[in-house]
A and B are shown apart, each in its own frame.
Chain A
C-alpha cells in the first residue's frame, strides 16, 4: 500500500494511465494545466503519445482521432476551452467515439475569473453540444475519488462508446490530499469490444444481438469503414432516411438512459433518519458534509445526498428524496443549475431551495449552516 500526498489533477492522470490512456491531445488552460503537463511527461514512458494542438477545438478533434485509431484518449480543459470543444463532443457522440473530456471548472462566462473556482458548467456538460443526445458526466469530491472516477470515466466511455465528461473543481484539482493506492490494484478495466468477423463482413455501426453498442475496429487494423457526423446507417455511410435517423438517434440516447442502473452512482450521508436533505457535489459536498455534522449537533435532522454521476441524473433517487424529505436544499457554486434538475423531480413532492455563490469564493460550511438555519427559522 503506497500512501501519497497527491494533487487532484495528478490523481486524474494516474487514474487515466491505470485505465489505459495512451493518447492525450489538448491545449493547456488553468486550472487544468497540470493534467496536460503530467500526461506529456508520463505518456511517452508507457508507449503513449501526447500532442499539444493549436487550440481546444483541434485538441478535441485529435482526441477523437486517437480513439478511432484504437487508443484510449483523453483531453482536459476549463470553461472557455470546454465551450470550444462542444461541436466536436457532438461529433464524438454521433460517431460513438469513446473518450474522456476533463473540465476543471473555473468562473465564467468567458474568461471570467481564470483562477477562481466555480461549478458553472453543470448544464453545459448536459446540453453544451447541439441536438438531441444523452451524455455521461461524473463529478468526484476528493483526490482519491478523482483517481477512481477517472478510471470509471474511461470504463463507461469504452462500454457505451461515448464521450464521458469528468467535471472537477479547481479546489480539488489544485489541492494535495492523502491517497492510498494498493500495490496490486485489481480495479476493473473495461476495453471496447473489437470485431472478430472478417473485415469484408464488418458493419461498423450494427449492434449485435445482446450487445449495447457496435463493435469498434481501430483504424489501420484492416477494417475499413466510414465515419461521419451525418446521420448514418449500419455501414457508416450517410443517410437521409427518417427510419434510419429515428433508429440511430434514439439508440444513442437509449444506450445511456436505459442503463442508468449501471451508470448512476451517488453517496449518502446521515440520510437514514433525516427530515431535510442537502444536495451538493464536488468540492462543495465537502463543505456540505461538515455543515451536516454541525447542524446535527444543533438537533436539526439533516443529511447529504451527493450525486457522483451528474448526468444522467439519479432520477429515481431524487424522486424518492422528494417523497421523504420535508425540504431539500441544493447547494452549488453557481446560480442554480442542478437545482433545476432536483426541482423537476423532487419538487413534485417537496419544497426545493437553492443556495449558490458565483463570485469565485468557495461556499464554506458556515455559509451552509447559516443558510439552513435562517430558512428553518423563517
Chain B
C-alpha cells in the first residue's frame, strides 16, 4: 500500500505514543515519509487516548488521519470511540479483553497483547512493543530490520533484550 494511516488507541500510559514514534522512525529508515501525532489534554491521561501515524511514499500534506486503514485498540473504551472511523476493508487489531465489534466489513485480529505483556513477560510496560510485533507481522508496513533498530533506539538502556523478546512475542501472536 502507498499510504498507511494508523491509529494506535488505548488508555494513557500504555506507551502508544512511543509506539507511534517508533513506527514513524522505522518508516524514515526505510526511506519513506512519516508523520506522528497524538491527542493532548485530559483524554491523554486515562480515558481513550490515541497516537496517529501516517506512512507514505509521497509527500504528506494533511497531517491527521482521514482514512484510517489500521486501528489498534487495547481497551474497550478506545475501540468503541474509534471503530466508526476505520475504513471498510480496514484492519482492526484488538486486545483479547475487547469485545468483537459488530462490523463485517473489516478484518479483525483479536489477540492477547496485554496478557502477553502482563502474565507471560511480567512487564506490562512492553505491551506497546508486543503490539508493534503484531502490527508488523500483519502488515509488513516497515522492514523488520528498521523496526527492530527503531525500537532499540527508543527504549531505555538495559531493556534491549526485554524489548527484543516482546517484539518476537508480538510477532508470534499472529499465525
Contacts and interface: CB of A to CB of B under 8 A. Distances in A.
Interface stretch (B4-12, B60-68, B161-169): B60-68
Contact of B61 (A174, A290, A362, A366): A290
A260 B112 CA distance: 61
Contacts of A174: 37-38, 40
A2 B64 CA distance: 25
Given A31-B40, A175-B35, A178-B33, A3 B28 contact: yes
Nearest to B32: A178
Given A5-B25, A115-B41, A286 B36 contact: no
Interface string B20-55: 010011001000011111101100000000000000
Interface in A338-376: 362, 364-366
A79 to B, nearest CB: 15
A175 B63 contact: yes
Count chain A CB atoms within 10 A of each CB in B34, B38, B41, B61 and give the residue with the most: B61
B35 A176 contact: yes
A324 to B, nearest CB: 24
A315 to B, nearest CB: 27
A57 interface: no
A172 interface: yes
Q: Determine the interface band of chain B, counting residues with CB < 8 A from chain A.
A: 10 to 19
A327 interface: no
A262 to B, nearest CB: 29
B34 A5 contact: yes
Interface in A14-55: 30-31
Nearest to A176: B36
A289 interface: yes
B87 to A, nearest CB: 14
Nearest to A143: B35
Contacts of A287: 61-62
A177 interface: yes
A312 interface: no
Contacts of B60: 177
A170 B63 CA distance: 12
B36 A365 contact: no
Nearest to B33: A178
Contacts of B61: 286-287, 289-290, 293, 365
A178 B24 CA distance: 9
Given A3-B28, A5-B28, A115-B40, A176 B21 contact: yes
A23 to B, nearest CB: 28
Contacts of B24: 5, 176
A4 B21 CA distance: 11
Interface in A171-221: 171-172, 174-178
Nearest to A362: B64
A178 B28 contact: yes
A74 interface: no
Contacts of A362: 64
A175 B53 CA distance: 10
A364 B41 CA distance: 21
Nearest to A368: B62
Interface of B: 21, 24-25, 28, 33-38, 40-41, 60-64, 66
6 interchain residue pairs of minimum CB distance: A115-B41, A115-B40, A290-B61, A176-B36, A175-B37, A286-B61
24 contacts: A3-B28, A5-B21, A5-B24, A5-B28, A5-B36, A114-B41, A172-B63, A175-B63, A176-B21, A176-B24, A176-B36, A177-B35, A177-B60, A178-B34, A286-B61, A286-B63, A287-B61, A293-B61, A362-B64, A364-B64, A364-B66, A365-B62, A365-B66, A366-B66
Interface of A: 3-5, 30-31, 114-115, 170-172, 174-178, 283, 286-287, 289-290, 293, 362, 364-366
Given A5-B21, A175-B37, A287-B62, 13 more contacts: A4-B28, A5-B34, A115-B41, A170-B40, A175-B63, A178-B33, A178-B34, A286-B62, A287-B61, A290-B61, A362-B64, A365-B66, A366-B66
